[in-house]
Amino acid sequence: MTATLSETLTLLLIEDDDGDAFLVEELLRQAEAPPRITWVRNLAETRAKLTSEIQCVLVDLSLPDATGLEALEQVLAMAPHAAVLVLTGLRDVHVGVAAVQAGAQDYLVKQDVDARLLARSVRYAMERKRADLAQIRLVEAELTAKENARLENGLLPVPLLHTKKLRHVTRYLPGTQGSRLAGDFLDTVQTPDGSVHIVVGDVCGHGPDEAALGVALRIAWRTLVLAGQSGDLLLRTMDTLLRAERKAPEIFTTLCMATITPDLTHARMRVVGHPPPVLVRDGVIEALGGGPSGPPLGIFPDIEWTAIDVPLGERWSMMLYTDGLIEAAVGENRQLLGVDGLVDLVKQHGAIDLDRLIRHVGTLSDDLAAMLVSRSGT
């Protein structure tokens, strides 16, 4: 009966006995799709022939340069992504069980092997290896996601906001790259004079270094605001910190910050290479016009950023966000939302609702930090 292998595999046979090696090759040639076989006689040759193309390794447990589980352990170390099938001439089930417990996908006793059994064992070993690798990736992803969530939640600030006249909502969500920490940050501080200072920023890139830099910039911003700094002096100080702390000269940071007057009717903003905030005031929904205040931090030295004075009135809402929101793919054509699309979406909803916006957008390709500050009137 013809043995079955549903795909053409690349196998490595580690066998020092010429007769046994010839037998295994002959049995595998009877498969419906005979595999490509590389034959080596010891572990020394194995190191030279074991490439990433090898999908399955058949290994004898009695080799000239290693025997028993020692040989198996070395093969497993050399081929972490390949299925390993143990061949033994010992009629001792404990040897095979120990081999599987040590990491092999299956074992066969040479004297009991025929073409059909060998082909089936190779196929099953491959499937078990795929399942093992998938389970490992799943566990690693879950652990990474939990650790990232713990770190992100622990690093998010508690807003220093004392007035009850403002509604303040924040969201911090990972994108599809959520297994990697990002440098998005946000903060809110109300100073003793009653002014409310807000910021949302984004360090370019992903990873622990960028996340740590984002936290450093956020803490620096809060400290500088509490110390009475504002405007270009604050931004130049943060620019100096960024240049000192970043791991590579190409790393930059965008941000949008605003200072809302104590009577909550005006705001002075600086849009530093960042997406413009979305405003709702007097029933009009729009993105802040007039262009950015200047380039991101960390690119040009001795920059001045233009302040943007915004009258707010008695009833208003303001949303600051990172580009993870406008870079989301939406609609049947999966086009980027963009700033105009975001404004249109808010107009459809009739107001800014962060949770509703995020649900409508769906899957985020990048991380998102967003803040909604609103005043309902006197």
- CB burial string 17-38: b at 16+ within 10 A, e below: eeebbeebbebbebbeeebebb
Please write the tens of the pLDDT for every residue from 28-38: 888 877 888 99
**For residue 233, is pLDDT > 50?**
yes
271, with CB counted inside 10 A (0-12, 13-18, 19+), is buried
Return the pLDDT at 9. 84
Residue-wise DSSP of 67-83: EHHHHHHHHHHH-TTSE
**For residue 1, is pLDDT > 70?**
no
Q: What are the residues facing 259 on neighbouring strands?
A: 197, 268
Return the pLDDT at 151. 56
Instruction: Look at 140-154, 282-296, 334-348, 351-365 and tell me which has the smallest mean pLDDT.
Output: 140-154
**For residue 196, is pLDDT > 90?**
yes
Per the structure block, which two tokens stand in for 168?
A: 């303040």
Q: How sure is the predictor about 7, in pLDDT bands with cuts at 50, 70 and 90?
A: low
- The residue-averaged pLDDT of 200-207 equals 89
Question: CA–CA separation, 83 vs 85, rounded Å?
Answer: 7
Per the structure block, which two tokens stand in for 334?
A: 């999966």
> Does 333 or 343 have the greater pLDDT score?
343
Return the pLDDT at 245. 94
Per the structure block, which two tokens stand in for 248?
A: 């590579």
Domains of the chain: 10-137 (3.40.50.2300), 156-375 (3.60.40.10)
Which residues 6+ apart lie within 8 Å of 346 measured at CB? 278, 280, 285, 319, 352, 357
Instruction: Look at 14-18, 62-66, 243-247, 336-340 and tell me which has the smallest mean pLDDT.
Output: 62-66
**For residue 299, is pLDDT > 90?**
yes
CB 188 within 8 A of CB 160: yes
Please write the tens of the pLDDT for every residue from 39-65: 999 988 988 888 888 999 999 888 888
**For residue 158, is pLDDT > 50?**
yes
β 284-287/308-311 pair status: unpaired
**For residue 166, is pLDDT > 70?**
yes
Return the pLDDT at 2. 45
First to last CA, the chain: 87
Please write the tens of the pLDDT for every residue from 125-157: 888 888 888 888 888 777 766 766 665 565 678
- The residue-averaged pLDDT of 245-268 equals 96
Question: CA–CA separation, 132 vs 140, rounded Å?
Answer: 12
- CB burial string 107-137: b at 16+ within 10 A, e below: bbbbeebebeebbbbbbebbebbeeeeeeee
Return the pLDDT at 101. 87
> Does 371 or 94 have the greater pLDDT score?
371
Closest CA to 318 of 197, 233, 229: 197
**For residue 334, is pLDDT > 80?**
no
Residue-wise DSSP of 127-144: HHHHHHHHHHHHHHHHHH
Return the pLDDT at 91. 67
**For residue 240, is pLDDT > 50?**
yes
Question: CA–CA separation, 158 vs 156, rounded Å?
Answer: 7
Mean pLDDT of the chain: 87
Instruction: Look at 143-147, 155-159, 232-236, 289-293 and tell me which has the smallest mean pLDDT.
Output: 143-147
**For residue 296, is pLDDT > 90?**
yes
CB 6: neighbour CB atoms within 10 A?
11
**For residue 179, is pLDDT > 60?**
no
